Amino acid sequence: MNNNQLFGTGALALAMMGVTVSAVAQNRLSLGGYGEAVMTRNFYSDNIYRYTRANDHKDDPSHGRFDLPHVTLNIGYDFGQGWTMGSEIEFEHGGTESAVEMDADEAGEYEAETEKGGEVALEQFWINKRFGQGEFNIRMGEIVVPVGATNKIHMPTEFFTCYRPEGENTIIPCTWHQVGIALWGRVTDWRYEVQFLSGLDSERFGSQSFVHYGATSPYEFKIANSYAASLRLDNYSVKGLRLSLSGYYGSTFKNTLRSIGTTYNKVKGNLAIGSFDFMLDRWNWIVRGNADYAYLSDHAAITTFNKNFPTHSGQDGSPSKHQPVAKNAFAVGIEAGYDVFSQVQKLKDEQKLYLFGRFEKYNSYAAGRQKSAYGWCDVTRLALGVNYYPVKEVVVKGEWSERFLKSGYNNEPSVSIGVAYCGWFL
C-alpha cells in the first residue's frame, strides 16, 4: 500500500471528526510510527548481586515483566523543491509520569513522586535537502547514526526477537541518535552516508554497557568539546541481498563539564567501531547477520577518572557509572526465519508465519584492566520462536531464549510474548 492510499484512510477519519485536510497537505504530510508490547518470564534471579555472588542466587525464584519497549510517533513534511522535514518522538518503556501530591500523613506537605519510569526523547528531527534524483542529500539535525545492523534497521517488524538484538543493543548506543550533519545518497546499487557529530561522553561508559550510554546527555545540551565521524555503505547488487559496512571514529574523554586537570591532559579516549551486516530476503527466507568490534584507547585512565567522580553531600548526582571500562568489546549474531505459510496456497498472499532461530555472542568487557572480574559480561545467547503477520504492518511474536554464561555464573533462560506494529497512517 502506498502513502496516498494510507493517507486516504486517514483523511476519511479526519473528515468524520470535522477536520478538513487540503489536497496539498495530503500529498506532503506523513504521519506514522511503531510500537511494541512484551510480556516476559525470566527463570533466573533478578538480584543485583546475581553475578558477583552467583552461588548465593542460583536457586532464586523466577520473575516476570510487562513492558512497552518503544512506542513512537513519526511526522514528516515535504516543503517542495527538495526540502523535507522528518521527526520522531519516542516513548521508551511507557514514558515517564510524575506528579505533585499533598500528603495527609505529613501535615499537608507537598510531595513530588515518580509514578512511572521510562524515557521520552526526540529521537529524530532533521531538515533534508535533496539534489537531483537523490544521488546527493544534505541532512541536518537530530539524526540516526547508522553504525551496525540494528541502528540502521530497528523497526519491530524488522527483527524476529521480542526485543531488539541483544548484542548490539548492549555494547553501542541503540537506537543511536545525535545532532549532526549527514551527506548521503544512492547511486545505482550503492547507498552511502557520511556524518559529522559530537563525540560520545566517556563519563557514561560502563562495564556491562561499554559505550551504550555515551550518546545521551544529562544536560539540556550535548557537549561537543570533541568531534567524531561515521560512515556507512550499503550494496544491493544481488536481488534480495543487502551487504553493509559501517564505522565510527571519535574522541570521547573531554566531553564533560568537569575540570579535567593536568593529570589527564594527554587522555583522549579515542573510540573506533567497525561493523559488517547483511540481510537476505528471498525464497521465503529472511536471514540477517552482524559482526561488530570496538576499541577504546586510554580505557584505564577513563576508568580511574570515572570511579573517582566526586559526589555532593553524599548524594551522587554525577553522570558517571563509577565502573571499570573495557578496552575492547564485540558482538556477532545471526538469525534466520522461514515463512511456512508460503507453502499454503490460501494463506501465502495475505499472511506470514516465520519460524526462526537466532544465535548471538557478545562481550562488553572483552579486554581491559580487571577483565577477570567481569567474566559475566561474556554472553552466548540462543533464541527460538515464531513471528505471525496477520497483515503486513502487525506482528505477534513468541520466543524462548537463554543466555549461556561462563563457568561460575548461572545461565539465564526466559520466555517472551509480544505484539508490535509499524506503519504510515498518512
3-state secondary structure of 177: strand
* CB-CB contact of 426 with 77 (8 Å): no
Residue with cell 518503556: 93
List the Cα angle 234/238/244 in 5-degree steps: 20
* Domain presence at residue 25: no
Q: Report pTM.
A: 0.87
* Domain presence at residue 5: no
* Domain presence at residue 21: no
| Cβ neighbours of 64 (radius 10 Å) | 11
* Domain presence at residue 102: no
Q: How do beta strands 97-103 and 29-42 pair?
A: unpaired
**How many domains does the structure of the chain reveal?**
1
User: Among candidates 190, 169, 231, which has minimal Cα distance to 362?
Assistant: 169
Per-residue pLDDT, 295: 97
* CB-CB contact of 138 with 182 (8 Å): yes
Per-residue pLDDT, 259: 73
Could you list the residue range(s) of the whole structural domain that residue 365 is in?
32-95+118-424
3-state secondary structure of 145: coil
> For every one of its 426 residues, what pLDDT tens digit does the chain have, with 9 covering 90 and above?
343 433 344 444 444 445 555 555 568 999 999 999 999 999 999 998 999 899 999 999 999 999 999 999 999 999 999 999 999 999 888 777 665 554 444 455 555 556 566 778 889 999 999 999 989 999 999 999 999 999 988 999 999 999 999 999 999 999 899 999 999 999 999 999 999 999 999 989 999 999 999 998 878 888 888 999 999 999 999 999 999 999 999 999 988 887 777 788 889 999 999 999 999 999 999 999 999 999 999 999 999 888 877 655 444 566 777 888 999 999 999 999 999 999 998 888 889 999 999 999 999 999 988 888 889 999 999 999 999 999 999 999 999 999 999 989 999 999 999 999 999 988
Per-residue pLDDT, 322: 81
What residues are paired with 183 via a beta bridge?
A: 138, 194
* Domain presence at residue 154: yes
* Domain presence at residue 374: yes
* Domain presence at residue 108: no
Per-residue pLDDT, 422: 95
Per-residue pLDDT, 223: 86
* Domain presence at residue 306: yes
Q: Buried b / exposed e across 311-333, counting CB within 10 Å, b at 16+?
A: eeeeeeeebbbebbbbbbbbbbb
Rg of the chain on CA atoms, in Å: 23
Q: What is the CATH number of the domain that holds 220?
A: 2.40.160.10
